[in-house]
Amino acid sequence: MKRLRSFPWTEIIILAIGTFLALALRLSLLSFESGDYHTFFLPWYQAMQEQGLTAIVSLQYDYTPTYLYLLYWMSALFPKLDPIVAIKLPSIAFDFLSAYLIFQIVRLKYPQGPAPIFAYFTVLFAPTIVLNSALWGQCDSIFTAFLLICLYFLLTDDGAYAGLAFGAALAFKLQAIFLAPLMLALVFKGRLAWKHLLWIPLVYLVLIIPAWVAGRPLLELLKIYLDQSQSYPFLTLNAPTFYAWLPESLYSILYPAGVIWAVSLVFLYLLVVFKSHLKLSPGLLLNLGMLAVLLVPFFLPKMHERYFYPADLLSIAYGFFFPGHFFIPILMGLISFFAYQPFLFGRQLVPQEILAFGVLVILILVTHKAIRLLYR
């Protein structure tokens, strides 16, 4: 009886009610059909239903096969489920996993008290997190959840698991590389062993084996991301990045220059971290992770509006770690919310140039915080 009385019943009830409401909110949006759903997701899903895993050979897609495996298993396990529900449910499930991971990351700083629970609910009810999975049906929550797993293990010094998680994220989406500068910085600082990075290509290779066995040429599977980088000849695709201020007519000149510039800024990021003699505390690591997922997509060309999704999520943990910057997750979430508008709803409420300026302000603030922590 004493144990029962000491059990945190209040917290459990609060979590249960909030989780139920978050799920109900997402289920209410399932019927929305986006352009991506009709152009990509539905044809892929129907091909998996009709042809099974062999559809991987004939389908035209610029994703890695890992996401298609997910669609295949949904079609095989739930053949009578409405396709739009089957396509969106995995992304919704990873919303809840991401919320739990943010809960665990925030709990590293606040072992006691309600802060982790507040962070959990902030993720579940953040507008862009809800819109991305339940309305749009995108899979950004999946690869980002693996990035959060990677970050959690980096914070707890479990390098091998961090490498495995990063490899899983990269096997879903190339955008996982946004966190790569942090991984490299930790290697140079001796916080992460080089051998742990070997898990990254190994996970990718293991996950393309089923598609190879099904008949897809191995070379095609190995260069999916290389081919993907040649798609969409635009400096920005509704993304609030540096290229919102530059003319698309100069794409052929600015694209290669932009890639070189982004790589140069990552080099500067690594140099700044490497030359610091301070111990990398969990707060500093989180700050550097936030900086990485902002810096890379802001200065790389060809970014979509969804590519700040990892920054949207990580900014929530950042706001709890650094309460003085509580406004950063609010501002980041609003920027992404307005960036989604043209594609989802066919309207532009805030000019892209202004949204890009907002991201730049956040980037400057996070950079300033990182330098202050690195060079006290």
Which secondary-structure segment (H or E) carries 1? none
Specify the pTM.
0.95
Residue closest to 211 by CA, chosen among 87, 72, 38: 72
Query: Tens digit of pLDDT for each residue in 34-82?
Result: 999 999 999 999 999 999 888 888 887 777 899 999 999 999 999 999 9
Domain boundaries, the chain: 19-24+35-374
User: To which H or E segment does residue 110 belong?
Assistant: none
pLDDT of residue 59: 80
Residue 343 token pair: 């594609």
Please give the pLDDT value at position 63. Answer: 78
**Token digits for 189?**
């600082």
Helix axes 65-77 and 83-107, enclosed angle (nearest 10): 120
Weakly modelled stretches of the chain, pLDDT under 70: 1-7
In 3-state terms, what secondary structure has residue 232? Answer: coil
Q: Which of 203, 97, 202, 102 is nearest to 152 (CA)?
A: 102
d(C-alpha 321, C-alpha 115), whole Å: 10
